[in-house]
Amino acid sequence: MKSNHILNLVLLTTLLFSCEKNENTEEVTNLIEAKRAEVAPDKRVALWDLNFENDSLKGETDQLEALQELIKEIEAQQIKFTDAVLRLPDAALGEKTKALVTISVANIRSNPKHSAELATQALMGTPLTVLKKDDGWYLVQTPDGYLSWVDRAGIHLMTEEELAHWFREPKVVFTALTGYVWKDENESEMVSDLVAGDILTVQDETKDKLKISLPDGREGWIAAREAQDWESWIASRSTTPEALITTAKQMMGTPYLWGGTSIKGVDCSGFTKTVFYLNGQIIPRDASQQINEGELVDADKDWSKLQVGDLLFFGVKGTEEKKERVVHVGMWIGNGEFIHSRGLVRISSFDPENPNYDEYELGRYLRTKRIVNVPSEHVLSVSSLLTNN
């Protein structure tokens, strides 16, 4: 009888402890999710991978201020726990928490392996924030906030001070659609290929050549006519109808590439992002992010309201059971036409009499937004790219 009593007591204690533990887990999980909704509703641009298990707060995040707020909220509930959260940038990186893209176009993937989905791209000279390392891959954040993985071979790791020094060096922007860096002025050996928008530092110049340095220290020569110094390039950027149309049409025929944001290949939102970048603005990466910017122009297929540069969005309309799905974007170029990347960069029209009539896109049209000359939280000036923030 005595042993049964002891056994029952142990079982009761275990049950009470388990109930308390479960209650703590549920309460902390609710706090985690509430904070996620506040600071990281879009996991593409904010990392908040936290969980509470066995009285331990685990996971990783780059939202350090929010993490401290969460910890205070847990402590206020008098819940004892172990803090096992990895704070990013990872301390294992040391001071090398910055990087520059060192190849013409860096492929940035959803996971740390070459077979992973291509999430986005970054051009040579683009500054990145480095968050952690996984073998030969680095989790980085691009200037538009996108979080993805890049191969070590495509970047040059730097400290804050080294990046600040690079910012101060004289620079040029490569303006031809494609080109090369040559080892010598005779163009006998290629150092690297280039695409429009790549950023290089200048070491010397002749009448028609520039001696430049790539972000990883490699040097070579380019034709002076194919580049423009950074300050004058920035000053000449404009989202006028003429500038947007010219840039967009220069990319006609560029092949569709999921995750692409360069002349080598673009997806639909990568195309609009590239057009605006080459004209001085950094806009969000994906169509489902771009649709949240600017002001609403049309949702009723009244094309008379549209202006050159307006972004048209397509997808599946929402219902009571399902959320709206934004899957495609194009840019209005006037005269009843828009330009977009589907298979290749092409021009389409909603006019049945136009040879470019696109019944397919007309059928899944959602609405049009305007970001040209409209203040928007996540639309930035390219001039902010080379500031030491």
- Residues noted as catalytic: 268, 328, 340
Pick from 117, 139, 122, 116: nearest CA to 198: 122
Distance CA 292, CA 44 (A): 14
What would the two tokens of residue 63 be?
Answer: 């939202």
Distance CA 360, CA 355 (A): 14
What would the two tokens of residue 191 be?
Answer: 């150092």
Backbone angles phi, psi at 153, to 5 degrees: -70, -15
Structural contact between residues 316 and 323, judged by C-beta atoms closer than 8 angstroms: no
Structural contact between residues 277 and 339, judged by C-beta atoms closer than 8 angstroms: no
Distance CA 293, CA 147 (A): 19
Structural contact between residues 158 and 166, judged by C-beta atoms closer than 8 angstroms: yes
Number of C-beta neighbours around residue 192 at 10 A:
20
- The amino acid sitting at 5 is H
Structural contact between residues 364 and 356, judged by C-beta atoms closer than 8 angstroms: no
- The answer for residues whose C-beta is within 8 angstroms of residue 216's C-beta and 6 or more apart is 100, 102, 156
Pick from 268, 246, 244, 240: nearest CA to 255: 268
Q: How far is CA 78 from CA 24, 56, 83, in A?
A: 10, 14, 14
- The answer for residues whose C-beta is within 8 angstroms of residue 257's C-beta and 6 or more apart is 118, 264, 265, 266, 267, 270
Distance CA 183, CA 257 (A): 30
Chain centroid offset of residue 309 CA: 21
Q: Is 10 helix (H, G, I), strand (E, B) or coil?
A: helix
